[in-house]
Structure 1
Amino acid sequence: MALLKVKFNQKKRVKLAQGLWLMNWFSVFAGIIVFSMGLFLKIELRKRSEVMDNSESHLVPNSLILMGILSCAFNALAGKICYDSLDPTKFAKWKPLLKPYLVVCFFFNFFIFFIALICFLMRGSLETTLAYGLKNGMKFYRDTDTPGRCFMKKTIDMLQIEFRCCGNNGFRDWFEIQWISNRYLDFGSKEVKDRIKSNVDGKYLVDGVPFSCCNPSSPRPCIQYQVTNNSAHYSYNYQTEELNLWNHGCREALLLYYSSMMSSMGGVVLFVWLFEVSVMVGLRLLQTALESIANPDDPECESEGWLLEQSLTDTFKSTLESLKKIGKFNQVDAGSEGAEGEEGGKTPAITTVS
């Protein structure tokens, strides 16, 4: 028994073809939107590539860009097929290509669903990428005179100001690295010498943070040096002065920004996938309805359209049997080739004449 069997007359076939033509051009527009989303995400990731450890995060925008291009191409072609299906002479040239095209559409829809899943599941990989990237970027904050790294200070400062964050996991991350360049340190000062000697790696570490960590909403001037020293400042307690510095780390802020963006894009892609599946099902019904017309000379006669010629179970069994036959055929070919090789490899008997 056929799956999703529907009876059609000429009027219904024309309406189905016109509806599919319209849906395909909507899908072309959706493909342009997906392409634009991928391009926008790629630009956003490129803007902060200095604080990202690797290029794994570009898998999502690259996939969205590819999906948008393929969606425009496939749906424009499907729209042309649906338009030509109203004319039997024009549809005749598309008829042998419809089955291969529907197979390609099936795999394309699987690809779309896979991209939607990636958009929702990339959070873990993105978190690791940001953690390592921000940690390395903070180490180069002081290298304002080093070629190739002189931009890092500006990048980190702008990042902390824009996303209202401080450090990788929090402002204490700045206490563990030397973020002040040696160029601006007085090595003749006893305080500087003592701080460098007290550190195993010979670095100048302070309980201070860059100015970009300061919260402009704080009711008092920003305290960015001796942050943990309550006695160094009047009426100050660093554990309760929550408005003085940004409390959130930049990893958390960037992760929330990008993951929410990817989740929204995943929702759009999932909607596009449902729309594409509907188009594929409609195109399959149109194909079978046109091919099952009993009398081609009478276009007004009724016909039947279906999604699968057999039930889902029977289709699966027949596909499995076809695969087994192909496997047996290959085994027979391999066996016959081996037998020929053995016969060809026999050495003739050598007779000795006494």
Structure 2
Amino acid sequence: MVVGKMKFPFEKRVKLAQGLWLLSWLATLGGAFTFTLGCFLKTELRRRAEVMDNTEIHIVPNTLMLVGLASLGINYFAGRICQDTLDVARFPRWQSFLKPYFTISIFFTSLMLISVILSYAMKGNLEASLKIGLKNGIRFYKDTDTPGRCFQKQTIDRLQMEFQCCGNTDYKDWFEVQWISNRYLDFSSKEVKDRIKSNVDGRYLVDGVPFSCCNPSSPRPCIQYQITNNTAHYNYEHQTEELNIFIRGCREALVNYYMGLMNTIGAGVLSVFLVQASVLASLRYLQTSTEAVLGQENTEIETEGYLLEKGVKETIMETLDPIIKIFQLNQVASGGGEAGAAEAGAAAS
């Protein structure tokens, strides 16, 4: 069953070719835009790689860059083809090229749609990556003298100030780790000794946070130490007073930032996908309607164009059939080789 059959008079074919030429250049710009978005997202993810535990989230920008580059090539050839369809004598040279061209184009266009879906579906992976990455970043905050972690403190401080956040889940995460380096502790002080002895792991834990957690918009000078001790500060009530440090955790802040970024990118790429799909559909109509003119004396006759000569299922099976046959031949060859080796071994014995 033919899918999407339409009639094309000569004037309509000319207008289709002209419109497709403009649309292909628009889609080329869309491909460049997609590649740029992928590069931007990749850069943003790499900027904060120190607070991410894995690189699975990079599949989104990598896919965007790949389909962006592929789109440039696809639409370049689409523009060339639609120019040659206006000259029927030059069109036959493209006929053998068009079938693999459409297969590759549909693959990369589908990959573009998959990248849009991934940009919305990777929230769980992003959150899990940040949860572990930020936890390790806070734990190694004090290791400014350790090779490989020298800039961990700087990274966390910049992150907390830029996104106005504190800790992983919230500011209390800093209470559970020793974030002050031993080189800045006076071990002759009774207070320091008592705090270390009171901890099973021998860590110096305080109910305080780094300076980068302080909210500069607060009218009160920052209370970053003894946050839970009401008597340590004048006119202060920890349970009821609005703290002058950032309350929101950095994981929540970063997830919101990156998901907002990817959702916006996803919407932009989706619009490019629609343009790209329109190019392929228009080119298919132009191809089939022009092929009906070949061999005719009058090239200005009305012809029919269609998207698929057969049904969707039959077309998919016909496209996959050569690939399936190749795999079957490989299996037969490997099976024959094993059988031959077995017979040779039996003869030798």
TM-score normalised over the length of structure 1 = 0.89
SS in 1 for 2:90: helix
Partners of 2:88 and 2:294 within 8 A in 1: no
Match of 1:254 in 2: 254
1:26 counterpart letter in structure 2: L
Q: Contact 1:170–1:249 (CA<8 Å) still a contact in 2?
A: yes
Change (3 A) 1:321 1:96: closer
Structure 1 position 282, deviation (Å): 0.9
State the match for 2:90 in structure 1. Answer: 90
Residue of structure 1 in register with 2:44 after alignment: 44
User: Which digits, 9 at most, give the CA deviation of each residue in 1:189-213, with x for residues without a partner?
Assistant: 0000010011111110000000110
Deviation at 1:310, TM superposition (A): 3.1
2:24 maps to a residue whose letter is N
Q: Which sits farther off after the overlay, 174-183 or 91-100? A: 91-100
Task: Describe the superposition over 1:262-306 as per-residue Cα deviations: whole angstroms up to 9, x where unpaired.
Answer: 111111122222221111111111110011126533221111101
Tell me the distance in 2 between the aligned counterparts of 1:212 and 1:14: 65
**Alpha-carbon distance in structure 1 between the residues aligned to 2:181 and 2:320:** 72
- 1:54 equivalent to 2:54? Answer yes
Separation of aligned partners in 1, 2:336 and 2:257: 61
Match of 2:290 in 1: 290
**How many residues of Structure 1 are paired with residues of Structure 2 in the alignment?**
345
Shift of 1:148: 2.1
**Separation in 2, partners of 1:142, 1:337:** 64
The amino acid of 2:81's aligned partner reads I
Q: Relative to structure 1, is the Cα distance of residues 126 and 314 closer, same or farther in structure 2, using a 3 angstrom cutoff?
A: closer
Two-structure CA RMSD over aligned residues (Å): 2.9
1:212 aligns with 2:200: no
> SS of the counterpart of 1:304?
strand
**Residue type of the alignment partner of 2:271:** F
The residue number in structure 2 matching 1:182 is 182
Whether the 8 Å contact between 1:294 and 1:301 is mirrored in structure 2 is no
Structure 2 unmatched runs, 5+:
none
Whole-angstrom distance in 2 between the partners of 1:190 and 1:310: 86
- SS of 2:89's equivalent? helix
CA contact (8 A) 2:63 2:115 kept: yes
Q: Which AA in structure 2 matches 1:151?
A: F
| Aligned residue type for 1:126 | L
Whether the aligned pair in 2 keeps the contact of 1:295 and 1:301 (CA below 8 Å) is: no
CA deviation string 1:153-204 (max 9, x = no partner) = 1111110000000000000000000000111100000000010011111110
Q: Is the 8 A contact 1:187 1:193 kept in 2?
A: yes
Deviations 1:114-140 (A, max 9, x none): 111111101000001101000101111
Name the residue aligned to 2:172.
172
Give the distance between the partners of 1:171 and 1:70, measured in 2 at CA. 46
1-structure distance, mates of 2:21, 2:196: 73
Q: Is the 8 A contact 1:2 1:310 kept in 2?
A: yes
The Cα offsets for residues 215-241 of structure 1, whole Å up to 9 and x where unpaired, read as: 112121110000000111111112233
Q: Counterpart in 1 of 2:115?
A: 115
Alignment of structure 1 residues 21-36 onto 2, 5 Å: 21-36=21-36
- Is the alpha carbon distance of 1:174 and 1:100 closer, same or farther for their aligned partners in structure 2, counting shifts above 3 Å? same
Residue 47 of structure 1 deviates from its aligned partner by 1.1
Show the counterpart of 1:139: 139
Q: What letter is aligned with 1:49? A: A
Q: Answer yes or no: is the 8 Å Cα contact 2:88–2:290 preserved in 1.
A: no
Distance 1:85 1:245, change over 3 A: same
Larger mean CA deviation between 281-290 and 241-250 belongs to 241-250
Does the 8 Å CA contact 1:32/1:72 hold for their aligned counterparts? yes
Is the 8 Å Cα contact of residues 51 and 130 (structure 1) preserved in structure 2? yes
In 2, distance between residues paired with 1:71 and 1:118? 19
State the AA in 2 paired with 1:60.
V
Following the alignment from structure 2 to structure 1, what is the Cα–Cα distance between the partners of residues 95 and 294? 16
**Percent identity of the aligned residues?**
55
| Matched residue type, 1:169 | T
Specify the alignment match of 1:106 in structure 2.
106
Give the whole-Å Cα distance in 2 for the aligned partners of 1:8 and 1:62: 40
CA distance in 2, matches of 1:148, 1:138: 15
Q: Which residue of 2 aligns with 1:352?
A: none
Which residue in the other structure is 1:223 paired with?
Answer: 223
Cα distance in 2 between the residues matched to 1:131 and 1:99: 47
- Which residue is 2:77 aligned to? 77
Residues 293-350 of structure 1, C-alpha deviation per residue, up to 9 Å, x if partnerless?
265332211111011123446657x749968x959x969x78x969x97xx98x99xx
Contact 2:63 2:112 survives alignment (8 Å): no
